[in-house]
Amino acid sequence: MFDKNAVAKKPPMGWNSYDYYDTTVTEKDVRVNAEYMAAHLKPYGYEYIVIDIQWSDPNAGKNRPKEQYINFSHLCLDEYSRQIPAENRFPSSRNGAGFKPLSDYIHSLGLKFGIHIMRGIPRYAAHTHMKLKGTDVTADQIANPFSISKWNGDMYGVLHDRPGAQEYYNSLFELYAQWGVDFVKVDDICNTNMYEKNPYSAEKEIEMIHRAIAACGRPMVLSLSPGPAVIEKAWHLEKYANMWRITDDFWDDWRLLKAMFERCEVWQKHVSEGCFPDCDMLPVGRLGKGFMNERSTKFTWDEQKTMMTLWCMFRSPLMIGADLPQLDKATLELLTNRDVLYLATDCHGARQVSQDSEHAVWTCRDNNRNNYIALFNLSDTEAEIEASLEDIGVSEIHFLEDLWEHQIVDPQQKPSKTGKISAIVPPHGVALYRTTYGDGRLCQNQ
Amino acid sequence: MFDKNAVAKKPPMGWNSYDYYDTTVTEKDVRVNAEYMAAHLKPYGYEYIVIDIQWSDPNAGKNRPKEQYINFSHLCLDEYSRQIPAENRFPSSRNGAGFKPLSDYIHSLGLKFGIHIMRGIPRYAAHTHMKLKGTDVTADQIANPFSISKWNGDMYGVLHDRPGAQEYYNSLFELYAQWGVDFVKVDDICNTNMYEKNPYSAEKEIEMIHRAIAACGRPMVLSLSPGPAVIEKAWHLEKYANMWRITDDFWDDWRLLKAMFERCEVWQKHVSEGCFPDCDMLPVGRLGKGFMNERSTKFTWDEQKTMMTLWCMFRSPLMIGADLPQLDKATLELLTNRDVLYLATDCHGARQVSQDSEHAVWTCRDNNRNNYIALFNLSDTEAEIEASLEDIGVSEIHFLEDLWEHQIVDPQQKPSKTGKISAIVPPHGVALYRTTYGDGRLCQNQ
Amino acid sequence: MFDKNAVAKKPPMGWNSYDYYDTTVTEKDVRVNAEYMAAHLKPYGYEYIVIDIQWSDPNAGKNRPKEQYINFSHLCLDEYSRQIPAENRFPSSRNGAGFKPLSDYIHSLGLKFGIHIMRGIPRYAAHTHMKLKGTDVTADQIANPFSISKWNGDMYGVLHDRPGAQEYYNSLFELYAQWGVDFVKVDDICNTNMYEKNPYSAEKEIEMIHRAIAACGRPMVLSLSPGPAVIEKAWHLEKYANMWRITDDFWDDWRLLKAMFERCEVWQKHVSEGCFPDCDMLPVGRLGKGFMNERSTKFTWDEQKTMMTLWCMFRSPLMIGADLPQLDKATLELLTNRDVLYLATDCHGARQVSQDSEHAVWTCRDNNRNNYIALFNLSDTEAEIEASLEDIGVSEIHFLEDLWEHQIVDPQQKPSKTGKISAIVPPHGVALYRTTYGDGRLCQNQ
Amino acid sequence: MFDKNAVAKKPPMGWNSYDYYDTTVTEKDVRVNAEYMAAHLKPYGYEYIVIDIQWSDPNAGKNRPKEQYINFSHLCLDEYSRQIPAENRFPSSRNGAGFKPLSDYIHSLGLKFGIHIMRGIPRYAAHTHMKLKGTDVTADQIANPFSISKWNGDMYGVLHDRPGAQEYYNSLFELYAQWGVDFVKVDDICNTNMYEKNPYSAEKEIEMIHRAIAACGRPMVLSLSPGPAVIEKAWHLEKYANMWRITDDFWDDWRLLKAMFERCEVWQKHVSEGCFPDCDMLPVGRLGKGFMNERSTKFTWDEQKTMMTLWCMFRSPLMIGADLPQLDKATLELLTNRDVLYLATDCHGARQVSQDSEHAVWTCRDNNRNNYIALFNLSDTEAEIEASLEDIGVSEIHFLEDLWEHQIVDPQQKPSKTGKISAIVPPHGVALYRTTYGDGRLCQNQ
C-alpha cells in the first residue's frame, strides 16, 4: 500500500539553488554546496540538495537583467518530449546520463537529491508533434494550448482526460527514478495564478504526478509551488502532496515576513506527518547572484530569529536559500540551533494564540509535557509582548528557558504569579521560551 | 480558568423554532415542543430548545407574506436598551420576568434553554439616545450607524473601542444568565454579508460576546449565524465560539444538500471538542407554517438518510427544524438511529476520501478500532459507489455492517478480496458501513 | 492626410461566412454567396463579402463536433510567418496567388472583399524562430508567450515595443493590399477575455494595425472582435477602428437579442461617421452547417423585425449570417425593407427614450424634419407600449406611418391629442413609426 | 413641456461652501462670499452660491477632528420630516422662515442660491414614525432601512414604489421653491458607494427628484454627487440631471488632478446643453478651515492652470472652493481669464487627442472656425509635448495664440511647416493655444 506520507514524516530540510543562483546554477555549484552541507549541516538534519528552475536551458540567464526566462528558448529534450540537463551546465549528463552521475555523487555524501520541474509538457514538443514514451499519441494530443504559466513560457498544461496523459507523466518519473531523484519541486501547479478565478486549475495534474510517483517505485517528496495555496483545497493537497507553498515567492523583506504570520494563521490546523504547508526558502546569508543582485540578506538578526522561530514552530520545511560555502559563523549558528530545530522535528500542536498588526503569539508542545511559547514583536519599536497562561493552555509554570539566549529566565518574572508570560522584545524580534513542569534544565538540546 | 469548550464537548443536539414557526413562535408552541422532546428525543441526546428570531417584536409576522421582518417596528425594550420578550406572545414574561418562567419550565423537563439574538444594539435605542446599564454613556455613543444587517433592520453594530461597549454586552448576558439561558444563537455575525469584501466584519463583536459569557458566570453555548463562515478565520472561530454556520440558511432542497458536501470538505479539519462547524437545522417533518408555506419536508427518504449520515459523520450540531409534536414514526426513527448518532457523539477523525459531482466518500473511526465508511451517491441515477481500502486507510476488513439497514453485508462482497468497499446506492442516497476487526456484531448500539 | 473614417461613412453592410460555415467555408461557397448578393442585395446597399476564421487551416472543422479549432494544427504560412489560404479549400490561391484571384472575382461583381484574422503571430512561427519580412528579427523576438486567446490556440500577441513588431504588421497588410482586401475583421482584440481584469489588453496591437492600414495604401474597413467592447475605451476605438463588437457572439436566441438593448443603451452616444458600435451578424435564414447544427433561424418573425429595427436605428453594421443562396422570400424582404434600412444609412441622433425589462423605446431623426419612433415589447406577452411626445422631443405630430406595415396609422390614434404615441405590440415585437410635419406620404422609400 | 436642460445651457459657475467651511458654514459666511462674488466674479459668469452639507445640524463640526459628521445627531426637522436650517447657524431662518431670507439676499445681489441635500429621509423620522406632507403614510412606510450612505448616517433611502414616496420628495421641493432655491446638489446618489456591486442603486430616487423639480414649478439645476458616475448609466444621467460628479471628492493633490484626465477621457462624448459631467470644485485659494486643516491650495501655479484649462475645455461646471474674500490677485486672475472661460461657455466638441501617463492633448472648437489645443505635461519634468495637425483635425494653421501668456507664438514655430504643434511645457503644466485661419488677433476676449 503506497503511503505518500512515509517519505516525509518530518518537515524536509535542505538547500535550494534558486535564491542565490536563479536559473544559472551549474554542476560545480551544486557539488560545492552539497559538500558544505555534508560537512556542516547534515548533523542537524539538513539533507536535501535541490536544483531549481531551468536546468534544461543551455542559455538560461543570458537575457539578464532584461528577462528572467528566455522566451522560446530551445530546451534540451530527449526523443520523448522530456527535458534533460543542459550539457554545457551539467557536463556529467553527457551521453544520455542525465542527472544520474550528479545524483550518485550527492548520495555518496549521505545526502538526498532533488530537482525542480514545471508542470506540463514543453510547448515546442506540442507544436512540433513530438513523440511520448509508452504510447502512440504525440505531444500535441495531450497538451492544452490554453493552460499556460503566467510567468514562464516553456510549458503547456496536460489534459488529464486524454489517452497518453498519465503515460507522459509516468515516463517523466520513470526517468527521474533512474536518475535517483528523491525530491521533486513542481512549479506553476499549486497556485496557477494565470487563472485568477481558478487558481487551483492544475488539480488533476497533481493527481497524475502523485500516481506517477507511486508507479515509479522510488519514494520522492512531492513539493508544490508557487503559493498562496488555496485553503479550500487543503484536503486535496493533504491527500496528494507532501508540501505546498502558502505564499508567493518569499524574500528578505520584512513586509513579506510579517505577512507570513497571516498565512500561518490560516494553515495552522493543516500540519501533520507527510503534510507540510511551506513558508518557502530561508533567504539568509549570500543571495541573488543569478538575479544580478548579489547581496547579504537584508534581514536583521532579529528578523532572522523571528523567521527561524516561526518556520520551526509552524513546522515549515526548512530549505536554505544561501550559497552555503559563503555562510558566516553567525548564520550557521542561526540555522543549527538544536533547541529551535527541535520545534520543527519533534513538537506538534502549534497554534496561534493571538495576533494583530503589532504582535503575534504562538505556542506548541512536545511529548515530554513541555510547552513552547514564542512572543513576536511585529511592530517597528521595542514593545512588551505578553500572553496569558489561560490562552496558552497551561495552569502553572515552574521554569522558563529562553531558547535563543540559552538561559533560564529570572525567577522574579515567574509567570505563575501574574498569570502571564511576557517579554520586552526588540522591533521585528522574538522571545522564545520553553516551560517545564519538573526541575529546570538549561537548553537540553545544546 | 474559563474554558469555552467545556459547555459543548459533543455537538449540541436539540430543536429550533425557525424552520416551522419563522418569527411567530409563542410560549405555548415552545412548551409543547419541549414536552415532546422530553418524552421522545431526550434519551437519544437531544436537549436544547431554542427560540429563534424576533421574540421581542409584538407584531412579528404581521406583514407576511410581503415581508419577513417589520421595518421600524417598535421592539419591546427595557430601560437599558435591551430587548425583552413580547408579552402578547410570551405571557409568562410579564412584570419584568423575561424568559425566566419559560426557562424554568424547560429546565424542569430536564432540557436546556436557548435564545436567538441579533448582534448589536436596537437602532431605535441609538436614535433616541437610550441608557445603557452599568455605564454613563448612551446607546448613540456605542452604535455604529454604518454597521447594519443586510436582511433585518432592527440593530446597529456596536463600536468595540468605545467606552460602554463591553458593558452593554455584559448587561445583555447578565440578563440572559438571570433568565437561565444555556444556549445563544447570535445572528448577522458569522458572515456579515452586507459587507461583501469583509464578511467577517463583526470579529470584535464576537470577542465582546465571548467575554460577556465568561463574565456572566453561567455556561452558554455560543452559536454564530449565518454562514458561510470564512475559512481563513477558522482559528478565531475556534478560539471564541462553539459552533458556526458553514452555509447560508439550509432548507429541504437537494441542491443545498449536495452543496453541503463542498462545505464539509472545506471544514473537515476544524472539528474538535467545543468547536463544531454547523450545517444548520435538519429540515425534516412538518415545516414552514410561519413562512405561509406549510408542508412536509421535500427531501426524499434517501436524501434524509444522506443528510443524517453527513451531519453525524461530520459532527455537525443536530438541531431539528420540524414541529416536534407532528413528527411521524419514520422521521422519529431517522432522528434516533443510535448507530448513526454514535458517529456524532463518539467518533472522530472524519475526513472526505473522495468527491466529485457524482459521488462522495467519507470515513471516520471510533475508539474501538472500528472504521465507518459512508458511500454517497450525489447523482440523479442509481450508481455503484466505491472506495479503496488504501484510501480509507485500512488494510483488511473482517465484518461489514450496514448501519441504516441493520444487517451484516453478504460475505460474498468481502472487501478484503477486492481491496474495495462498494455498494449500489440509490440516487441522492447513501450506504453507511461499520467495519470491525474482531467478530462481527450486529449494530451494537441498537 | 489619412482619414480612417472615409472608408465607412455609413454602417458597412454585407455577408460573413461564420454563422453558416463556421471554420469550413471554401472558395466555392464564397463565390455562390457573392453571386447571390450581386443579384439580390447589392441594390439595397449590401456589398462586403467576408471570409471568417481559419482559412489558413487545411484541416479546419475536422475535429467537429469535439472541437471547433484544431489545437496545434499546422497552418499554411509563407516564409515570413504570414498565414496564406489553405489550397485544398481555396484552389485559386495556388502558386502564391493568395486571395488575389478570389478577390478579383468578388470585385468583378461590383462587391468588396473582406477577411478575418486573429491578432498576433502564429505560435508555430515563434517556436521555430521563423523569419519576418522587412526586418532581421525573427518571430520569437516579437511574440509574447503570455498573450494568448482564450478560445483559439493559433497565435501569440505581438510585443509592440520590440523592433520588428510594426514591420510584421506592415508586412501583413502589404500582403492584404496586394490581395485586394477591403475589409479586415481582427479577432481576439476588442475584448481579450483571457485577461479578465484587463480586457482591453491588445490596445497597442490595435494601434499597430491602424498604422499598418495607413501604410499599406489601400483603404480597408477595420472591424474589431469579439465584444463586449469596453465603454471606458470608447475614445480609443473611435480613434483607431471603424467598427467594434459591443457583445460576445450573437446568435438566434431571444435572451441575446433582449440583452442587446442594454448594450445599445450604453453605446448610443458613440455612433458617428466611420465609428460604428457593432451588434454582430444577423442570424437569419439558414444557419449552423459548419457547427453541425444546421437549421433555420430560431428567431420568430417578430423577433427578426425587432432585430432589424434595433440594428438599423442604432446604425449597427449589417452583416448577414445566412447562407444567401438559401434565403427565402420573406427573409429577403426583411433584409431589404428600404424604409427600415434608411434608418441605418441616412438617419442620426438615435437614442433610447426609455427602457426596463418589459419594453424599450428608441427614436432618431433624418434631415427632413422626420422623427422615427420604435416601440419594442420585450416581454413575453402582448402589451401596449407607449412614449410621451415630451420624451421623444416633438411637440406635435401630423401623420404617423408604420414602416413595417407600410400604412398610415388610424387618425383616431393621433398622438397630438393624447400627448403620446402608443401601440399594441406582440411579444418580442416592435412597432416602428415615422412622424412627419407636412402632408403624409406613404412610406417614401418603398 | 418641462425641459430640464433649459436651466443649464452652459456649465454652471459659482461657489460652494464645502472646501473651506466643511460642515460649519454660517449665514454670515455665506453672505460675505456672495458679496465678494457679486463684486468681483459675477461679470465673468459666476453666479451660484451653494451651501453644502449639514446645514440642519446645530452641532455640525463639534466632533472634529474625530468625526466629520455627528452620528445620531438630532437634526432640525419640521413636522413633515423635512430638514430645516439650524437656527443657531442661520439666524434668519427663525420662525419657520427657512432659507427664504438668505435666498432673497443672494438674489438681491444678482446671484442665484443653491443648497445641498442627502438623498432620502431622516432616519430619526423613520424610527419615530413621523408624518409626511400631502399623504397619510408615515416616514417608516417609505424609508428603506437597508439603503444607507457609506459615510453619513443621517438618512435612509426612499422606497420608490411605496405610496407617499413621490409625495415626500414633492414636499421637499415645494419647500425649496418657497425658499427660492435655484440649484440643488443631491448627495449619496450618483455613486452610492456603500453598494459596491450596484453603485447606481439610487436610480429611482433620481427620477423622483426630477419629477419633484418639474412639479415644484421653479427651475432648479440638479447636481448629483458623489462620483465616480457610472458611465454605463450616462443616458439616464443625461435624461434626468444637469451635472453629475465623475470622480470622488477632488482636492488639491496632483495625483487626483492627473487622474481627472482619465475620467474626462471616459466622459468626453457626454457633454451637451443641460448635461455636464462634473470634475468637482476648484480647490484654489484658502481651503480647509472647517476640516481643521486651513491652508492655501497645495497646487502649484502650473497645476492650477492645468486644472482650469481642463475644466474649461471639458466644460465641467466651475464651482470655486476657496473662501472668496481671501482670494489673492493671482488666483482671481486665474479664475477670470476670459479666453480660457470662453472654452467652457462658448466652445464645443472637446475631445482627447492622445494620452498616456506622461502627457495629454485635448482640442475643441468654437463657432468661428477657431480651434483650441491644450498640450498637458503630466510628467514630473519639463518636456516637449506635441500633437500632429492630422490628429487635431486641421490641415493648416495661420496664427497661433497662447491663451495663458496672451501672445502670438513665434512664427518660426509655425506648425504648418512641420505638421505639428508642440511646446516645451513645465512639469504638471499646460500650453493652451488658439489657432485661427484668418488674420491673427491677439487674445480677443481680454
* HSE of B252, CA atoms in CB hemisphere, 13 A: 24
pLDDT at D397: 75
Q: Are C287 and C278 in contact (CB under 8 A)?
A: no
DSSP symbol at A439? S
B199: contact with D, CB 8 A cutoff: no
Q: Are A139 and A132 in contact (CB under 8 A)?
A: yes
Q: How far is CA A426 from CA A376, A378, C112, in A?
A: 9, 9, 78
pLDDT tens profile D295-342? 999 999 999 999 999 999 999 999 999 999 999 999 999 999 999 999
The alpha-carbon gap from D140 to the nearest alpha carbon of chain B, in Å, equals 6
d(CA B192, CA B225) in angstroms, rounded, equals 9
The alpha-carbon gap from D115 to the nearest alpha carbon of chain C, in Å, equals 28
Looking at the predicted structure, is the pLDDT value of residue D21 above 50? Answer: yes
Residue of C nearest to A196 (CA): C196
d(CA C214, CA C197) in angstroms, rounded, equals 31
Residue of C nearest to A151 (CA): C146
pLDDT at A409: 78
Q: How sure is the predictor about C95, in pLDDT bands with cuts at 50, 70 and 90?
A: very high
pLDDT at C96: 95
Q: How far is CA A68 from CA A23, A119, C127, D285, in A?
A: 8, 18, 18, 51
Q: How sure is the predictor about A419, in pLDDT bands with cuts at 50, 70 and 90?
A: confident
Looking at the predicted structure, is the pLDDT value of residue D219 above 70? Answer: yes
> How many contacts does A have with C, using Cβ atoms within 8 A?
51
Q: How sure is the predictor about A298, in pLDDT bands with cuts at 50, 70 and 90?
A: very high
DSSP symbol at D70? -
Residues 6+ apart with CB under 8 A from B116: B18, B50, B51, B52, B53, B55, B184, B185, B186, B187
- Kindly report the average pLDDT of chain C as a whole number: 94
Q: How sure is the predictor about A413, in pLDDT bands with cuts at 50, 70 and 90?
A: low
pLDDT at D399: 78
d(CA B301, CA B189) in angstroms, rounded, equals 33
Q: How sure is the predictor about A429, in pLDDT bands with cuts at 50, 70 and 90?
A: very high
Phi, psi of B425 (to 5 degrees): -120, 135
- Bridge partners for D387 per DSSP: D421
Q: How sure is the predictor about D416, in pLDDT bands with cuts at 50, 70 and 90?
A: low
- Chain A residues in contact with C153 by the CB 8 A cut-off are 145-146
How large is the average pLDDT for residues D26-43? 98
Q: Which of A399-413, B136-150, B267-281 has the lowest mean pLDDT?
A: A399-413
Q: How sure is the predictor about C290, in pLDDT bands with cuts at 50, 70 and 90?
A: very high
pLDDT at A14: 98
Closest CA to A262 of A274, A246, A276, A250: A246
How large is the average pLDDT for residues A401-424? 79
Which residues 265-284 of chain A have a CB within 8 Å of chain B? 265-266, 268-270
pLDDT tens profile B6-24? 999 999 999 999 999 999 9
pLDDT at D445: 43
Tell the residue number behind the cell numbers 437614442, with chain if given.
Answer: C351
Looking at the predicted structure, is the pLDDT value of residue C412 above 90? Answer: no
Bridge-based pairing of strands A420-425 and A383-388 is antiparallel
pLDDT at C394: 83
Closest CA to C322 of C12, C13, C19, C39: C19
Nearest CB partner across the interface for B72, out of D71, D129, D194: D129
Looking at the predicted structure, is the pLDDT value of residue C445 above 80? Answer: no
Q: Are A325 and A32 in contact (CB under 8 A)?
A: yes
- Chain A residues in contact with C128 by the CB 8 A cut-off are 127-128
The alpha-carbon gap from A161 to the nearest alpha carbon of chain C, in Å, equals 14
Chains that touch D (3 or more CB pairs under 8 A): B, C
Q: How sure is the predictor about B373, in pLDDT bands with cuts at 50, 70 and 90?
A: very high
pLDDT at D437: 58
pLDDT at B198: 95
d(CA B2, CA A436) in angstroms, rounded, equals 23
pLDDT tens profile D81-95? 999 999 999 999 999
Q: How sure is the predictor about A341, in pLDDT bands with cuts at 50, 70 and 90?
A: very high
Closest CA to D19 of D308, D297, D246: D297
pLDDT at A410: 62
Percent of chain B with pLDDT strictly greater than 90? 89
- Bridge partners for D156 per DSSP: D121
Coil, strand or helix: which one is D227?
A: coil
Bridge-based pairing of strands A13-16 and A318-320 is parallel
Three-state SS string over chain B comes to CCCCCHHHCCCCEEEECHHHHHHHCCHHHHHHHHHHHHHHHHHHCCCEEEECCCCCCCCCCCCCCCCCCCCCCCCCECCCCCECCCCCCCHHHCCCCCCHHHHHHHHHCCCEEEEEEECCEEHHHHHCCCECCCCCCEHHHHEECCCCCCCCCCEEEECCCCCCHHHHHHHHHHHHHHHCCCEEEEECCCCCCCCCCCCCCCHHHHHHHHHHHHHHCCCCEEEECCCCCCHHHHHHHHHHCCEEECCCCCCCCHHHHHHHHHHHHHHHHHCECCEEEECCCECCCEECHHHCCCEECCCCHHHHHHHHHHHHHHCCCEEECCCHHHCCHHHHHHHCCHHHHHHHHHCEEEEEEEECCCEEEEEEECCCCCEEEEEEECCCCCEEEEEEHHHHCCCCCCEEEECCCCEECCHHHCHHHHCEEEEEECCCCEEEEEEECCCCCCCCCC
pLDDT at C414: 63
Cβ–Cβ contacts within 10 Å for residue B399, how many? 19
Q: Identify from B59, B127, B154 which residue to disrupt to test chain D contact, counting D C-beta atoms within 10 A and taking the largest count.
A: B127
pLDDT tens profile B304-357? 999 999 999 999 999 999 999 999 999 999 999 999 999 999 999 999 999 999
d(CA D86, CA D25) in angstroms, rounded, equals 11
- Kindly report the average pLDDT of chain A as a whole number: 94
Residues in chain A: 446
Looking at the predicted structure, is the pLDDT value of residue A437 above 80? Answer: no
The alpha-carbon gap from A126 to the nearest alpha carbon of chain C, in Å, equals 7
* HSE of C417, CA atoms in CB hemisphere, 13 A: 5
Q: Identify from D230, D235, D268 which residue to disrupt to test chain C contact, counting C C-beta atoms within 10 A and taking the largest count.
A: D235
Q: Are B193 and B150 in contact (CB under 8 A)?
A: yes
Nearest CB partner across the interface for B269, out of A1, A234, A389: A234
pLDDT at A414: 63
Q: In what order do the strands lie in the sheet with C121-122?
A: C121-122, C155-158, C143-144
A230: contact with B, CB 8 A cutoff: no
Looking at the predicted structure, is the pLDDT value of residue C439 above 50? Answer: no
d(CA A74, CA A122) in angstroms, rounded, equals 10
Looking at the predicted structure, is the pLDDT value of residue D411 above 90? Answer: no
pLDDT at A299: 98
Closest CA to C256 of C295, C286, C289, C299: C299
pLDDT at A416: 61
* Range from B57-66, B254-263, D62-71 that averages highest in pLDDT: B254-263
Q: How sure is the predictor about C442, in pLDDT bands with cuts at 50, 70 and 90?
A: very low
Q: Write the ipTM.
A: 0.94
Continuous H helices in A47-201:
100-108, 123-127, 139-142, 165-179
Q: How sure is the predictor about C278, in pLDDT bands with cuts at 50, 70 and 90?
A: very high
pLDDT at B435: 87
D363: contact with C, CB 8 A cutoff: no
pLDDT at A442: 42
d(CA B149, CA B199) in angstroms, rounded, equals 11
Coil, strand or helix: which one is A47?
A: coil
Chains that touch A (3 or more CB pairs under 8 A): B, C
pTM of the model: 0.94
A331: contact with B, CB 8 A cutoff: no
The answer to whether the CB atoms of D235 and C265 lie below 8 A apart is yes
pLDDT tens profile A371-385? 999 999 999 999 999
Coil, strand or helix: which one is A13?
A: strand
Closest CA to A186 of A283, A280, A52: A52
Which residues 333-352 of chain A have a CB within 8 Å of chain B? 351-352
Q: Which of B111-125, B375-389, C212-226, D405-419 has the lowest mean pLDDT?
A: D405-419
pLDDT tens profile D106-123? 999 999 999 999 999 999
pLDDT tens profile A96-146? 999 999 999 999 999 999 999 999 999 999 999 999 999 999 999 999 999
Q: Which of A333-342, B204-213, C57-66, C108-117 has the lowest mean pLDDT?
A: C57-66
Sequential DSSP letters for C28-67:
HHHHHHHHHIIIIIGGGT--EEEE-S-TT-TTTTTTTTT-
DSSP symbol at A150? S
Looking at the predicted structure, is the pLDDT value of residue D377 above 60? Answer: yes
Q: Are A350 and A314 in contact (CB under 8 A)?
A: yes
Q: Which residue has the higher pLDDT, D440 or A422?
A: A422
What's the grid cell of residue C412? Answer: 383616431
Burial per residue of C116-131, b for 16 or more beta-carbon CB atoms within 10 angstroms, e otherwise: bbbbbbbbbbbbbebe
pLDDT at C436: 73
Looking at the predicted structure, is the pLDDT value of residue D444 above 70? Answer: no
Coil, strand or helix: which one is D127?
A: helix
Burial per residue of A399-424, b for 16 or more beta-carbon CB atoms within 10 angstroms, e otherwise: bbbbbbeeebbeeeeebeeeeebebe
Q: Are A360 and A352 in contact (CB under 8 A)?
A: yes
Looking at the predicted structure, is the pLDDT value of residue C220 above 70? Answer: yes
Q: How sure is the predictor about C440, in pLDDT bands with cuts at 50, 70 and 90?
A: very low
| Single-letter residue type at D433 | Y
Bridge-based pairing of strands D430-436 and D399-402 is antiparallel
Looking at the predicted structure, is the pLDDT value of residue C226 above 70? Answer: yes
Looking at the predicted structure, is the pLDDT value of residue C325 above 80? Answer: yes
Q: Which of A78-87, A390-399, B134-143, D148-157 has the lowest mean pLDDT?
A: A390-399
Tell the residue number behind the cell numbers 491527500, with chain if given.
Answer: A239
How large is the average pLDDT for residues B119-138? 97
- Kindly report the average pLDDT of chain D as a whole number: 94
- Chain A residues in contact with B232 by the CB 8 A cut-off are 231, 265-266
How large is the average pLDDT for residues D167-187? 98
The answer to whether the CB atoms of D71 and B145 lie below 8 A apart is yes
pLDDT at D441: 45
The answer to whether the CB atoms of C197 and A197 lie below 8 A apart is no
Q: How far is CA A439 from CA A176, A396, D291, in A?
A: 51, 14, 63
DSSP symbol at A410? P
